[in-house]
Amino acid sequence: MFNTISSTYDWVNRILSLGQDLRWRKKIARFLPTTPISLLDLATGTADQLIVLCDLCPNITQAIGIDLAEDMLKIGQKKLRGKPYKAQLIKGDAERLPFLDESFDITTISFGIRNVHHVDKALKEMYRVLKPQGKSFILEFSLPSNQPVKQAHLFYIQKLLPKIGGFISKNPEAYTYLNKTIERFPYGEAFLKLMDKEGFKNLTATPFTFGSVTLYEGAKC
Ligand SMILES: C[S@@+](CC[C@H](N)C(=O)[O-])C[C@H]1O[C@@H](n2cnc3c(N)ncnc32)[C@H](O)[C@@H]1O
């Protein structure tokens, strides 16, 4: 599905999030260490998250993005041309990472964990490839806790988002899929429990924009 919407993916993200998605992505940079770090971005897609972090954090000495969808990666490759840093994009499965244990200081996944088949396997892999004291950051849609805001948000994702996203991408199913997965996916404490189960410590969940998106952080101690 992501191959079929790759050409409009970034543009639709900007429109549907009212320009907020870049702001959410940039916020992860504030949580990263300032020492030299190696970073792996899972389900990297068109590499927006990886690029935002490399642009903001010159202390990232190794940056790799991995995704199953080749067409998404091709767009990411184009965006990386001319950048003053090297970032590698490779085709691969977040549930079976082709890296040795303890390879990275930081692992990230943005709007991707909701899309993998087995969330537990992807979390296990994010943890496995982390070095001791390394950290994982997971940015994902969630639902606002304030009831009137939640109702307004549900109206937006159920009624408007599939129409706008479907019209621009010419793929209405992809954006109906988006709202269904947002509503079904565990968030807040429920998601932290999944991270806890895979061994992550010092867990935090930071909601952005009334809780429509949450940044989860967990460490390997
Ligand atoms: C909503 S996009 C997010 C892309 C990007 N992280 C971003 O922030 O825009 C979800 C991505 O997850 C990828 N994906 C889904 N399952 C995957 C898996 N098992 N391994 C790697 N990538 C996967 C899809 O190909 C798609 O590019």
Residue 93 Cα to ligand 1 midpoint, Å, equals 9
Confidence check: pLDDT of 196 > 90: yes
Q: Is residue 133 part of a domain?
A: yes
Confidence check: pLDDT of 3 > 90: no
User: In this structure, are residues 64 and 153 in contact, taking their beta carbons and an 8 Å threshold?
Assistant: no
Check if 67 has its Cβ closer than 6 Å to any atom of ligand 1: yes
Residue 148 Cα to ligand 1 midpoint, Å, equals 31
Number of domains making up the chain: 1
| 116 vs 167, higher pLDDT | 116
Nearest to 99 by CA among 44, 36, 40: 40
How high is the pLDDT of residue 168?
86
Q: Is residue 169 part of a domain?
A: no
How high is the pLDDT of residue 31?
96
Torsion of CA 205, 187, 134, 74, to 10 degrees: -120
Q: Is residue 108 part of a domain?
A: yes
Check if 6 has its Cβ closer than 6 Å to any atom of ligand 1: no
Q: Is residue 59 part of a domain?
A: yes
- The percentage of the chain sitting over the pLDDT mark of 70, rounded to a whole number, equals 100
Which atom of ligand 1 is nearest the CA belonging to 117? 19
Q: What is the CATH number of the domain that holds 106?
A: 3.40.50.150
Which atom of ligand 1 is nearest the CA belonging to 122? 19
pLDDT band at 220 (very low <50, low <70, confident <90, very high): very high
pLDDT (mean) for 8-37: 94
The protein residue whose alpha carbon is closest to atom 8 in ligand 1 is: 110
Q: How far apart are CA 148 and CA 66, in angstroms?
A: 38
CA-to-CA dists, residue 85 to 52, 56, 112, 170, angstroms: 12, 11, 24, 34
Q: Which domain holds residue 123?
A: 2-146+185-219
Q: How far apart are CA 198 and CA 126, in angstroms?
A: 9
The model's pLDDT over 137-176, given as tens digits with 9 standing for 90+, comes to 999 999 999 999 999 999 999 999 889 988 888 888 888 8
